[in-house]
Structure 1
């Protein structure tokens, strides 16, 4: 086990992950630095060890911040957050490949690039709709565009667990999966 293969799950001071998607992870270097600066409490450790000439430390697998970080009041309007709001699926046909975004009210007709006018669309649907209004193109989005809450994006992110989940993280992550009896 190399240090590079030991990411650390970062929890807020309330023991909840800072983010679900992307999952709040730090590299081993960031984690060791935060530990030395006394900014985190180590909750769980890997078996892997890092050493210097005068020091040895097991790598943390889960840390908790000592100071609470308040979540942003509104999510940033980014391509990633837009896709997350729309659950990584085209709002016209449901496809999950070749995703881009579409202005529901086309820019040529005064449409703005904002939460309230953009939906996730696959490239073929985006081309097919073109600069037309949804009714003209006979392409009505499955859901009207809207401003999501930070909590909604966090909940949506739980539907997309990352490829790597260390067993020590299980008590702090709540993915959409069945619990063992």
Structure 2
């Protein structure tokens, strides 16, 4: 067992009581200190551990790498209307040119401009790159230009979770993989077709 170093953060993947992550994007992770506290407060079950340990004068413990809440936390069916959730709904793609951008290069745009009576709502706001947003200005959408690629709608929490699964974080610990279902190609079983008699 290795003693924990400050350079190794050792976050714990947090699952709901149904063994699904509380969120995929951002991935539900707790700092090791919060995970250990939750263990001592008996709020979670440890499903997997790191090889790293923490020690006190009278205690030694392997750090949890995957924990599951003992009580189910219901997920809201209506996600919060936030800039990030708009980007996630639109999969970080400009809804005018279709290109994908990092969040710092994205804005949100009112399809029907506010200056023309457009509301700030799920149904009237889309993800836009800075270039397209500037070009559109306060123009109205027309079939000849500035129509969003996908009609904006209020997403469900499920849709945002599914979209988040398409963007796995850069770091995935091996112990997390059994609990995460990323959009990766699966291996197919090789089989032979038996001859018909």
> Normalising TM by the smaller chain, what interval?
over 0.9
**Match among 167, 170, 173 for residue 166 of structure 1:** 173
Higher alpha-carbon deviation: 146-155 or 171-180: 171-180
Task: Report the counterpart of residue 41 of structure 1 in structure 2.
Answer: 45
Over aligned residue pairs, what C-alpha RMSD do you find? 1.4
SS in 2 for 1:84: helix
TM-score (norm 1): 0.96
Gaps of 5+ in 1: none
Give 1:180 shift.
3.9
Q: 1:61 aligns with which of 33, 41, 65?
A: 65
| Equivalences for residues 150-161 of structure 1 within 5 A | 150-161=157-168
Q: Is the 8 A contact 1:92 1:125 kept in 2?
A: yes
What are the ranges of 5 or more consecutive residues in structure 2 without an aligned counterpart?
189-197
| Pairwise CA distance, 1:136 | 8.2
Query: 2:116 — aligned with what?
Result: 109
1:138 aligns with: 145
Aligned length: 181
Larger radius of gyration: 2
Contact 1:129–1:137 (CA<8 Å) still a contact in 2? Answer: no
Greater displacement, 114-123 / 89-98: 89-98
Q: Which stretch shifts more, 61-70 or 1-10?
A: 1-10
Task: Report SS of the residue matched to 2:179.
Answer: coil
Cα distance in structure 2, aligned partners of 1:179 and 1:8: 26
CA change 1:2–1:178 in 2 (3 A) is: farther
Please list, as runs of the form range in 1=range in 2, the aligned pairs for 1:4-153 lying within 5 A after superposition.
4-97=8-101, 98-135=105-142, 138-153=145-160
TM-aligned CA deviation for residue 32 of structure 1 = 0.5
- Secondary structure at 2:127's aligned position in 1? strand
**CA deviation string 1:138-179 (max 9, x = no partner):** 211001110000000000001000011000011100000123
Aligned-residue offset at 1:60:
0.2
Counterpart in the other structure of 1:175: 182
Q: Name segments (4+ residues, structure 1) moved above 6 Å.
A: none
